[in-house]
Each structure stands twice: as structure tokens, then as C-alpha cells.
Amino acid sequence: MSVPVIIAIVLLVIVVFYVWGLYNKLATGKVRIKEAFSGIDVQLKRRTDLIPNLVESVKGYAKHEKDIFENVTKARSALLKADSPHQKAESDNMLTGALKSLFAVSENYPQLRASENFKQLQDELSDTESKIAYARQFYNTNVRDYNTTLVNFPGSVLGNMFGFKEEEFFEAQEEERKNVKVSF
């Protein structure tokens, strides 16, 4: 075989390996994103599991604050029904807002604030919020790395060929970014 043919074959082999590697990188990226998304779900579930206990313990001291309980329960159901990252982020924020009102109201009931049960629930909820934040960060990190590969060259060309699309970040809409008003 002549030298140009050998060179051409070597180049072809290099290109094939490169495309193979890139495809695997994107495919692995997608799996990682799915895993990270389930990770967020795990933490969200922890929070939704804690909520009925919380509502019951507050109801024990503040039966007449019906609106607040309704808001919390509604937000919780919305979160359980949410599907896409965007929906989950929105309903997650709604629930956080409803919980803020609940805790603000509980300030008026010193016996409630003093109860061990309530304090422990508050503690666990705040820890769960941190865990959700970290799970979201991990998810967004994976989405960022995956999207970056798709946006750069030649990932963009090859990604389109293989049908890889950009994934969405776990973030809230513009309205939710404004400060949540706590009304008494």
C-alpha cells in the first residue's frame, strides 16, 4: 500500500474513534442527568413526607389558620404532580413560599414554638432545603457539562446527527425570583 493510502486510513481510524468517544460522552451525560434528576426527586420526596406531620402539629395549636394549611396542602399536591424540571422548580418554589407563611404564623403561638416536635420538624425541614439545594446544584452541573459539549464544535454538528438535544436547567421563572411577600 502506498503512503498516502496508509495516512488516509490512519486519519479515518482517528476520526472514527473520536466520533465514538463523543457519542459515548453525550450518552453518558444524559444518563448522569437522569440520575441527578432522581436525586432531586429523592430530596423533594423527603420534604413532602415531612409536611403532613408539620401541618398536624401546627393545627394542634392554631386550628383556625385554615388558609395557610390549605395553601401548604395545595402546593404539596402540585409538587407531587409536577413532571419536568421546570414544573418541579416552580412548584418547589410555591411550596417554599407557603411554608414560609406557615412558619411566620407559628411565631404567634409561643407554645407551638416551644414544642419539641415542632422544633425537630423545623430542623429537618431546613436540612431538607439544604439537601434540595445541593441536589439541584449537582443536577445543574451535569446539565451544564452536557449542554457545553453540545454547544461547542464539533459536538454541535455530531449531536444534531445523533439526535441529542440540550437539557433544561432546574430554575424558576422570572416572577418567582422576586421576593416572596409574607402576609399576616
Partner 1 sequence: MFLFVVFITTVAYVFGKANGYGLSFAGIALIISGFMSLGSYYFSDSLVLATTGAKQVKKEEYPELYRIVENLSIGDGLPMPKVCVLHDPSPNAFATGRDPKHGVVCVTTGLLDRLNKSELEGVLAHELSHIKNFDTRVMAVAAILVGFVAILADIFMRSLWFRSSDDDRGRANGIFIIIGIVFAIISPIIATLLQLAVSRKREFLADASGALLTRYPDGLASALEKIAADPRPVRTASNATAHLFIANPFKGKDAKAWFSSLFNTHPPMEERIKLLRAM
Judged by beta carbon, residue 108 or residue 148, the one nearer partner 1 is 148
Among the candidate windows 9-17, 89-97, 108-116, 124-132, which touches partner 1 by CB under 8 A?
124-132
Contact (CB, 8 A) for 145 and 169? no
Judged by beta carbon, residue 45 or residue 81, the one nearer partner 1 is 45
**Taking the CA atoms of the chain, what radius of gyration do you get in angstroms?**
24
Set of cell numbers at residue 137: 446544584
Among the candidate windows 7-15, 22-30, 76-84, 128-136, which touches partner 1 by CB under 8 A?
128-136
Residues across the chain: 184
Among the candidate windows 87-95, 109-117, 135-143, 146-154, which touches partner 1 by CB under 8 A?
135-143
Residue 137 contacts partner 1 per CB under 8 A:
yes
Query: CB 44 → partner 1: shortest distance, Å?
Result: 13
Which residue carries 402576609 as its cell? 183
Query: CB 71 → partner 1: shortest distance, Å?
Result: 28
Binders of partner 1 in range 26-45 (CB under 8 A): 32, 35-36, 39, 43
CA proximity to 138, closest of 37, 26, 45, 44: 37
Q: DSSP class of residue 164?
A: -
Judged by beta carbon, residue 59 or residue 131, the one nearer partner 1 is 131
Contact (CB, 8 A) for 26 and 146? yes
CA proximity to 140, closest of 162, 166, 163, 121: 166
Binders of partner 1 in range 140-159 (CB under 8 A): 142
Contact (CB, 8 A) for 184 and 104? yes
Binding site for partner 1 (CB under 8 A): 32, 35-36, 39, 43, 127, 130-131, 134-135, 137-138, 142
